Structure formats: structure tokens, C-alpha cells
Copies of this chain bind each other. A is one copy, B any other.
């Protein structure tokens, strides 16, 4: 298809498609003349992935470039491609000068993950995020050891294995698996957060409402 048809098929404007081509997010089409090129279904899929990372994942263009490069790197297995996408989604944890308190919280987070028996990369940014949460809760006097946070881990694992992992198409093109992971992680995370706040309101109404 021509660029105008690619635009119609994907809902992405021609100037935006040209921008993605210049940035290397979208591979060049097959050149058919000096001024025109032909595009295929792979381009439509790639545009969908870019839009999902941009609009749902709210990633900056530079991070999208890294995810797209991992999708295209055939030497990476799918777990690593998904990892690159997921790590790009992790919110930046404020750089802590690793003082004694931080080191202790980070060690506690690592122990928690070991005790869960989960397979997590030593460099996973979520280890730092968990350490920061442990630190914040501890400062507030809210219990944050492995026992206190265990229900959250159990619930999370159950949702992922029973409801989310099934929505990821592992057999299809890598784009589609990454897209489904990003959408699942972000949107299901949002749903869970909304439900928690609604449950808080309902429980509070029952206990305290007049």
C-alpha cells in the first residue's frame, strides 16, 4: 500500500508517519520510484505498537526507539523483548544517595523477592521501586516487611497468571506480544487502582457514613 493508504489503515497522519520514518521507529517501505514507496501489514502493526507505547504507556520517543529496536533484534528471545518494554514503563525512582537506610530497604526488597521464589533480573528497576516503597512505609510506621506485603504479591501473581498472561499472543508477531504486554500492564494496573479506590469509598461509607 502507499503512504496515504498506510495512513488510512493506521489512523496515523502522513506527516507523523514521515516523522517516525526519519526517527527510525518505522522501517522504510520498499522504494517503488524516487518519490514513493510501498508499505505492508508489518508497517500497520508497527504503527499500532508505537501508538500504544505513546498513548497508553506515555513513553517518550527515545524510549519507544529502544523498545522497537528490541522487537527488531532477532537475537533476543521474547522474554527479553518484553523485559525491555516493561523496564521502559517503570517510573523513574528518584536517585537516592544510597545511604544506610536505603541499602537496608533495598536488601529487604531483594529478600522479599527471593522468598517469593520469583525469577527477577538483578537489574530490574522494580527492585528499586519496591525498596523505595518499603522505605516510605517504614518512615510512616506502616508495616512493610515480607509478611505485611505478602498479600499484595499473592494477589498480583494470581491476577497475572489467571487473567493477564492469557491475553498476550505469544505465537504471533513480536510487535503484537509487546503491544499486549504494554496495554495489559498499564490499563489493567489502572483498573486495579480505580477498583481499590472505589472499594475504599464503599467500605468507608458502610463503616462511617451517616
Interchain nearest-CB distance for A151 vs B (Å): 5
Interchain nearest-CB distance for A103 vs B (Å): 19
Q: How large is the interface on A (under 10, 10 to 19, 20 to 34, 35 or more residues)?
A: 35 or more
A65 on interface, CB distance cutoff 8 Å? no
A130 on interface, CB distance cutoff 8 Å? yes
Residue interface mask A118-132, B partner, CB < 8 A = 1: 111100101001100
Interchain nearest-CB distance for A150 vs B (Å): 10
For A161, what are the chain B residues with a Cβ–Cβ distance below 8 Å?
199, 203
Residue interface mask A77-116, B partner, CB < 8 A = 1: 1110011001001100000000000000000000001001
Instruction: Give chain A's interface secondary structure class.
Output: helix
Known: A90-B197, A126-B198, A204-B82. A187 touches B156 (CB 8 A): no
Known: A78-B208, A203-B165, A204-B83. A198 touches B130 (CB 8 A): yes
- Smallest CB gap from A83: residue in B: B201
A8 on interface, CB distance cutoff 8 Å? no
For A130, what are the chain B residues with a Cβ–Cβ distance below 8 Å?
191, 194-195, 198
For A158, what are the chain B residues with a Cβ–Cβ distance below 8 Å?
155
- Smallest CB gap from A48: residue in B: B140
Partner of A159, one of B137, B155, B207: B155
Asked whether, in the complex, the Cβ of A119 is within 8 Å of the Cβ of B170, the reply is no
Asked whether, in the complex, the Cβ of A198 is within 8 Å of the Cβ of B151, the reply is no
Asked whether, in the complex, the Cβ of B200 is within 8 Å of the Cβ of A181, the reply is yes
Asked whether, in the complex, the Cβ of A202 is within 8 Å of the Cβ of B126, the reply is no
Asked whether, in the complex, the Cβ of B187 is within 8 Å of the Cβ of A118, the reply is no
Asked whether, in the complex, the Cβ of A151 is within 8 Å of the Cβ of B159, the reply is yes
Partner of A200, one of B142, B185, B199: B185
For A197, what are the chain B residues with a Cβ–Cβ distance below 8 Å?
86, 89-90, 126, 185, 189
